[in-house]
């Protein structure tokens, strides 16, 4: 319900009132699916890895288009996808 709550709260409109154009791109997230893995202590790893990869692609796309990705989420693992996307977008650029 995260994306719905952000839309309902009017976050995009509030940011645009500050003069900042916005574009919401929703990440489907891993959902509540269980995933099998060879390592019992990492049974959700394939699901989390896929979600991080999708997020990395979205973040990279936004940065390459000249935007600023504001990533909101409810799980600490969003940092992996966010940082991977930033790293990919900056690859080959001189800081």
What is the structure's pLDDT at 25?
Answer: 76
Of 5 and 95, the structure prediction assigns the larger pLDDT to 5
Render pLDDT for 36-83 as a digit per residue (tens, 0 to 9): 556 677 777 888 888 889 999 999 999 998 999 988 877 777 899 999
SS3 91: coil
Q: Total structural domains in the chain?
A: 1
Residue 5 lies inside a defined structural domain of this protein = no
Does the residue 77 lie in any domain? yes
Q: Is residue 38 part of a domain?
A: yes
Could you tell me which residue, 29 or 83, shows the higher pLDDT? 83
| Confidence (pLDDT) at 4 | 80
70 assigned to some structural domain: yes
Q: Compute the average pLDDT of residues 20-42.
A: 68
Looking at residue 88, what is its pLDDT?
93
- Determine, yes or no, domain membership for 16: no
Q: Give a yes or no: residue 83 inside a domain.
A: yes
């Amino acid at each position: 319900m995260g994306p719905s709550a952000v839309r309902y709260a009017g976050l995009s409109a509030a940011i645009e009132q500050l003069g900042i154009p916005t574009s919401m791109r929703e990440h489907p997230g891993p959902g509540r699916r269980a995933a099998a893995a060879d390592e019992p202590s990492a049974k959700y790893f394939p699901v989390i890895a896929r979600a991080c990869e999708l997020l990395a692609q979205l973040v990279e796309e936004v940065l390459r288009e000249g935007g600023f990705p504001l990533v909101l989420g409810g799980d600490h693992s969003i940092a992996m996808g966010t940082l991977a996307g930033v790293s990919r977008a900056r690859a080959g650029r001189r800081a």
